Amino acid sequence: MPETALQAPAPAPLMSFTEDEILFRDNVRQFAEDKVRPLVKEMDEKGVFDHGLIDEFFHLGLMGIEIPEQYGGGGGKFFEAILAVEEMSRVDASAGVIVDVQNTLVNNALLRWGTEDQKKRYLPRMAADTCGAYALSEAGSGSDAFALQTRAELKGSDYVLNGRKLWITNAKEAGIFILFASIDPAAGYKGITAFIIEKEFPGFSVGKKEDKLGIRASSTCELILEDCRVPKSNVLGEAGKGYKIAIETLNEGRIGIGAQMAGLARGAWELAAKYAQERKQFGKAISDFQGIQFQIAQMATDIEAARLMVYNAARMKDAGIPFVKEAAMAKLFCSQVAERVTSLAIEIYGGYGFTKDYPVEKYWRDSKIGKIYEGTSNMQLATIAKLVLGGK
């Protein structure tokens, strides 16, 4: 294979990238190569994300991309946040998901549903130095997200929350949490309410960190609420409308997960394509064999299709065009591509690919979560089916 093949799959010119978008993407890519890649193996082995890197994320403006300049953010577009997630995930999916949750879930929820007072209090912190987390899942409410058991009872000027959240990404690093609880269990999903919780609130604590297969440097923890007092002014949106916030925010978040999966697939592909040109068997590079060429070509094609689906959904979101179906399709397809491409990358490396001395096995481990969080593949298929068949 010619050396130029390593430049593919490149961004499609028909996506009409602006000069600013290209510069932003290239800067994030260079930062990921220079600062993140040298720490990836150690962070994965220890299961801890380097706090110095997070400080640099803030310094570069990667944690407040869409936050308006008046609140200290970059005043950018959703599409730029997606580019940042993709480029970070190309090097390390744990880095990608930290940037993803901050921008596509927490910041987006505050921007869309927060009062002006809430925006003034929290957005400058989110842009400057405070990580966010999004707390919906519980032990008994995964795909059935609104079966949550966490309760909130109004007592005077405060809500008192009791319950436990599970599998919360960024929990160890976060200082602000968008957390969902029910104020009226008898009302079903119409009792669900979103709250802005600060880590220092009395009665709130972060519990056990999960020991995971992949994205090991990204913290995934339990949250414990024991008579946690939350000011009534920290209700996000409207009491009883948390289900709407959850659904609509996750629709945007799924584009971010699509970008994460497309990015890590690209990272694994680049390594496999390079290795295929270096590894020799039977007197020539294995990339000279048609069987390997076809695998690499199919991987590149799948990645390009995945990226275009992500970019399209992000552009639709920025343009104010309905994008729920496209977001579900992007997450579904990108997670499938990521698992398939990273698995093939291991096979191209052969026995070396199965060892931790080489980087591709980590990409495969990281890919598996794509079919699970922010809506399983079956839930994406259910959403797509209803929309293409004319249902609600």
Specify the pLDDT at position 16. 75
Specify the pLDDT at position 142. 79
Residue type, 222: E
- 167-205 as b/e: b if 16+ CB within 10 A: bbbbbbbbbbbbbbbbbeeeeebbbbbbbbbbbebeebe
* Inter-residue contact 126 to 110 (CB < 8 Å): yes
SS3 content of the chain, % helix, strand, coil (to 5): 60, 15, 25
Go through the domains of the chain in sequence order and give each one's CATH number: 3-130 (1.10.540.10), 134-240 (2.40.110.10), 244-388 (1.20.140.10)
Both ends of the chain: CA-CA distance in Å?
48
Specify the pLDDT at position 290. 97
> What radius of gyration do the chain's Cα atoms show?
21
Tell me how crowded residue 339 is: count the other CB atoms within 10 A of its CB.
18
pTM of this prediction exceeds 0.85: yes
| pLDDT tens track, the chain, 392 positions | 444 445 544 444 446 789 999 999 999 999 999 999 999 999 999 999 999 999 999 999 999 999 999 999 999 999 999 999 999 999 999 999 999 999 999 999 999 999 999 999 999 999 999 999 999 999 988 788 788 999 999 999 999 999 999 999 999 999 999 999 999 999 999 999 999 999 999 999 999 999 999 999 999 999 999 999 999 999 999 999 999 999 999 999 999 999 999 999 999 999 999 999 999 999 999 999 999 999 999 999 999 999 999 999 999 999 999 999 999 999 999 999 999 999 999 999 999 999 999 999 999 999 999 999 999 999 999 999 999 998 65
User: What region does 14 belong to: left with phi over 0, alpha with psi -120 to 50, or beta?
Assistant: alpha
The DSSP code sequence of 50-62 is: -HHHHHHHHHHTT
* Inter-residue contact 121 to 175 (CB < 8 Å): no
Residue of 138, 173, 270, 374 marked catalytic: 374
Residue 45 annotated as catalytic:
no
